[in-house]
Structure 1
Amino acid sequence: MPKPLSAPPFRHAHDREIFRLAVPTFFALVSEPLFLLTDSAVVGRLGTEALGGLGVASQVLMTLANLCIFLAYGTTSAVARRFGAGDVGSGIRNGVDGLWLAVLIGIGVIAVGWPLSPWLVSALGASADITPHALTYLRISLLSTPALLVIMAGTGVLRGLQNARTPLVVAVASNLANIVLCVTFVLGLGWGIAGSAWATVIAQTAGAAVYVAIVVRAARRHGVSLAPSASGLRSSVAAGFALFVRTVSLRVVLVVTTAVAARLGDPEIAAHQVAFQLWSLLVFAMDAIAIAGQAIIGRHLGSSDVPGARAATRRMVEWGVMAGLLFAAVVLLVRPWAPLLFTADPEVSDLILGALLVVAALQPVSGVVMVLDGILMGAGDQRYLAWASFWTMLAHLPFAALVLWATPEDSTFGLMGLWLAFGVWMLARGLTLGLRASGRAWLVTGATRP
């Protein structure tokens, strides 16, 4: 009888562990955008105004999710350290506090976001026809904010415990539930765009309930109180604030780059959208290795295994470089035909072809940056990450402004110049992260990081 399929044989000692954590994480990450993709497919049947309203509201919700991602990242590193030190109970304690923080932030977001919803929709330029749909979707979806943030924190707990399979199962199950409910509410019951929002609320609430049940069961097994800890909440807030600064700095770079592309001209912003989405997709895949790095490095440092942390870091950087080289080859391979999928405009096609050359060249750098970012997160080096992200953001802004200032109206170099400026930012991130990783300051051992 043939043996069941399993992970492929690996030559390096750390490969199996990286594979075990990165592959389920990758598929869990891929499943998350399917929430809004499903909504778009179903809501699109309601008409242009409803689909436009979904697009506007989704931007608000996606920005919120990105800004609160620290709930997953900070919890992963804290729990992984405790796990590595053999103190699983304290790791669960960190997880319980993370869930409480998620609930408190979620309630605060609802309290602030509900009255501000009209202003947020208007700030994104929604027309009079689109605004009612956007408001309906946004206000209903805001009710799921505590559940969304609990899912982030719960995911961080399980990844810190070196469990990447359960988050994958929960993500896939939630997405399937969302598909069924969305079709039923919107097309079956005729609830319109409100039905799509309620489907997401119910699916995310069910996913959050699963994580709460898992953490509660683990807490009872290890004798951990379910009440919030004041010291634990303060620690989570401190780590979360640093990661929040990091995330805001990254978002500023992306927003400024898009704004410059828009000011270069309509063909430039259209081509930039295509190139940026391809770059984002590939970085998204590399993020799976980075998240695996958070769990692995946190465990090694928690067990005071500095040589193991060093060896795992080297191997994950090698994985990042190999993934980057592979993705660079893929981009160059599909580049001649890529514009055909998005536009029939010859000018836009030429701009896409030029930008994709830079996208391909950036892939190995992106691989190293993503991996080192995850490794330093796993080490709990959030303060350094915050400052490094802030200063590299400031370094990028003059180059982006220079592109806008130096590009004449009839130039075809503008968009490629903008992507080269974006590459300067990526290189600056690689330099700051690489210098930190090559030193010893981040190698703080023990169950907690002072």
Structure 2
Amino acid sequence: MDQATRTDRNRAGAFEVTHRLVLSIAIPMTLGFLTTPLLGLTDTAVAGRLGSADALAGLAVGAVLFDLILGSFNFLRASTTGLVAQSFGRGDRAEEYAVLWRSLAIAIACGLVIALAAPLLLAAGLALMSPPASVGAVTSEYFSIRILAAPMALSNYALLGFVLGRGQGVTGLFLQAIINGVNIVLSILLGLGLGWGVAGIAWGTVAGEAAGTIFGLCLVVMRARGASRPSFAHVFALERLKALFSLNRDIMIRTFVLLAAFTLMTRIGTSFGPVALAANAVLMNIFLVAGYYLDGLANAAEQLVGRAFGAAWRPAFDRAVKLTFLWSIGLGALTTLLFLVFGETVIGWLTTTQSVRDEAAIYLPWAALTATTGALAFQMDGVFIGATWSSAMRNMMLAAFAGYLAALAIFVPLLGNHGLWLSLNVFLALRGLFLASRVRVLAARVFS
């Protein structure tokens, strides 16, 4: 038996979940996620210095289109994490890499289809957003370049899912830092230094995704030395591919419903006038801030729950659920308290328009509450992804969305924008509670 095989078998089976183990995954990933808004600020600053409002608006429209297109494929990251974590818990190193190669094959295939369909996607996006002709021209330039990175961007989802499934939070941080760091540096250099404008920002994104893919693949290949290499037949076994597609389908449906919920909130918000709409946009940043570290804790839940499943070790599962719950609820409540105390100061940083500041202050308590009502939902998403309970997660999301629609129908006519924010909190709370209600029954089936 070689050293790699002995190591894999030693790590399989029972293991202890500690606060330190949870935070060793959550903290690096939170730091990695925080590089994303920094990238957005940099791109906005570069476009803002080009001396053209059309450049800034065109970049904004293009960024929204890519959020919709590429964000819909985040299931590649989630499914890879859950399946790799379970293989990790079993000590099945060959299957860990088989999961990665399957996910990479799907990522590259989907990325190539997206790139080839670029003209159709661009036309549909411009029709959806309806920007002025001058803004549309900038968006077209940006989109036509950045779309080249689609295969690499989706590959990076799979690579990040792989390292997270193995509990390598620091490696995940490095991957995020390389992708966004190269992007930031080259966007400034090409966009402003060489005068390429919005095209330079787009090429910076392509280079960042390429750097992340190259670094990630090199890392995977180096760490795979000595491991049992899965055969082609193993990687592309029909039964395993069907299971992966089924998992990805369920997570994708869940993602679409989540996007629909936030899109619906924005759409309804427009009926309250531009000041209320702007105030809501400012306040959503509070939810996004909380989302960065709640996502980090969800990543910890994914890995630890998946590993416990692979190891068939119920104590580790129970402990992972308990500790990630405590950290999520505790940090969510702390965030709510901090924004209730300092929220108006934060609003002042985000907008200088006094009417928007005053309006946002009215609805601040509702926005602050989302950090608490959403904490359980984030944590449970991590538990269900790690356990690969994708169909239950999909069904509970649909049930929560139905509750959200009912809340909107009841509270918005009665309370206006207050009702809109109340409905969002109801939706977040229902997601977490519905998922949590299924954990005991589903776990009993697995660990029996």
TM-score (norm: length of structure 2): 0.91
Indicate the percent of aligned positions where both proteins have the same amino acid.
26
Report the counterpart of residue 425 of structure 1 in structure 2: 427
Alignment of 1:225-374 (within 5 A): 225=230, 227=232, 229-231=236-238, 232-343=240-351, 347-374=355-382
- In structure 2, the residue matched to 1:182 is 187
Contact 2:376 2:433 in 1 (8 A): no
The aligned amino acid for 1:246 is R
The CA distance in 2 between the partners of 1:224 and 1:218, in whole Å, is: 12
Aligned pair 1:55/2:60, yes or no? yes
Q: How large is the RMSD of aligned CA atoms in angstroms?
A: 2.0
User: Could you tell me how far 1:122 is from its partner in structure 2?
Assistant: 3.0
In the comparison of the two structures, how many residue pairs are matched?
A: 429
Cα 1:162–1:443 change in 2 (3 A) is farther
Indicate the residue corresponding to 1:36 in structure 2.
40
The equivalent of 1:45 in structure 2 is 49
Match of 2:19 in 1: 15
- CA-CA distance at 1:225 after TM superposition: 4.4
Q: What amino acid is the match of 2:134?
A: D
Give 3-state SS (helix, strand or coil) of 1:100's partner. helix
Distance 2:347 2:102 in 1: 48
| CA deviation after TM superposition for structure 1 residue 264, in Å | 1.6
Aligned counterpart, 1:5: none
Distance verdict in 2 for CA 1:347–1:42, change over 3 Å: closer
Write the distance in 1 (CA, Å) between the matches of 2:115 and 2:197. Answer: 22
Partner of 1:127: 132
Aligned to 2:121: 116
Secondary structure (helix, strand or coil) at the match of 1:224 reads coil
Distance 1:200 1:345, change over 3 A: closer
- Helix, strand or coil for the counterpart of 2:348? helix
Which residue type is aligned with residue 107 of structure 1?
A: L
Counterpart of 1:110, as a letter, is: A
Q: Does 1:78 align with 2:83?
A: yes
Moved over 6 A (4+): none
Deviation per residue, 1:168-199 (Å, 9 max, x gap): 11221232222222222222222221111111
8 Å CA contact retained: 1:57, 1:121 = no
Quickly say closer, same or farther: Cα 1:252–1:346, change in 2 above 3 A. same
Range that drifts further, 251-260 or 231-240: 231-240
Quote the Cα distance in structure 2 between the aligned partners of 1:200 and 1:288.
Answer: 24
Residue 3 of structure 1 corresponds to none
Mapped to 2, the partners of 1:31 and 1:347 lie a distance apart of: 31
Contact 2:265/2:420 (<8 A) preserved: yes
CA contact (8 A) 2:90 2:307 kept: yes
Q: Aligned residue for 2:8?
A: none
Q: Distance in 1 between matches of 2:162 and 2:305?
A: 15
2:96 equivalent to 1:88: no
Using a 3 Å threshold, how does the CA distance of structure 1 residues 443 and 202 change in structure 2: closer, same or farther? farther
Alpha carbons 2:401, 2:427 under 8 Å: kept: yes
Shift of 1:220: 5.1
Deviates more, 1:15-24 or 1:159-168: 159-168
Do the aligned partners of 2:182 and 2:211 also contact (CA within 8 Å) in 1?
no
CA contact (8 A) 1:106 1:145 kept: yes
Give the equivalent residue in structure 1 for 2:5.
Answer: none
| Paired letter, 1:139 | S
Moved more, 429-438 or 52-61: 429-438
The amino acid of 1:425's aligned partner reads F
Cα drift, residue 26 of structure 1: 0.5
Range 206-215 or range 238-247, more displaced: 206-215
Q: Which amino acid aligns with 1:21?
A: I
Q: Which one of the candidate residues 157, 161, 166 is aligned to 1:161?
A: 166
Given that 2:26 and 2:299 are in contact with CA atoms closer than 8 Å, whether structure 1 keeps it comes out as: yes
Deviation string 1:293-343 (CA, Å, 9 cap, x unpaired) is 100110011000012101221111111111111101111111233332344
Worse-matched range after superposition: 174-183 or 248-257: 174-183
Specify which structure has the higher proportion of helix: 2
Q: 1:97 aligns with which of 102, 108, 120?
A: 102
Secondary structure of 2:179's partner?
A: helix
The 3 A distance-change label for structure 1 pair 13 and 389 is closer
Q: Look up the SS of the partner of 1:33 in the other structure.
A: helix
Is contact 2:17–2:319 with CA below 8 Å preserved after alignment? Answer: no
Equivalent pair of 1:93/1:219 in contact (CA under 8 Å):
no
Q: How far apart are the structure 1 equivalents of 2:117 and 2:399?
A: 30
Contact 1:171 1:207 (C-alpha < 8 Å) held by counterparts: yes
Q: Distance in 1 between matches of 2:410 and 2:424?
A: 12
SS in 1 for 2:117: helix
Unaligned runs of 5+ in 1: 1-11, 408-412
- Consecutive unaligned residues of structure 2, counting only runs of 5 or more, are 1-15
Counterpart-to-counterpart distance in 1, 2:172 and 2:320: 23
* Partner SS, residue 180 of structure 2: helix
**Separation in structure 1 between the aligned mates of residue 347 and residue 25 of structure 2, nearest angstrom:** 35
Q: Does the Cα contact within 8 Å between 1:301 and 1:443 map onto a contact in 2?
A: no
Given the alignment of the two structures, is residue 67 of structure 1 paired with residue 72 of structure 2, yes or no?
Answer: yes
**Contact 2:408 2:423 survives alignment (8 Å):** yes
For 2:213, the aligned partner's letter is A
Moved more, 33-42 or 299-308: 33-42
Aligned partner of 1:156: which letter? G
- Offset at 1:14? 1.6
Residue 209 of structure 1, aligned match among 204, 208, 214: 214
Q: Quick one: structure 1 residues 344 and 158, their matched pair in 2 at CA, closer, same or farther if it must change by over 3 Å?
A: closer
Whether contact under 8 Å (1:35, 1:200) holds in the other structure is: no
Question: In 1, Cα distance between the equivalents of 2:429 and 2:384?
Answer: 17
- The letter of the residue matching 1:415 is N
Q: CA deviation at 1:13?
A: 5.4
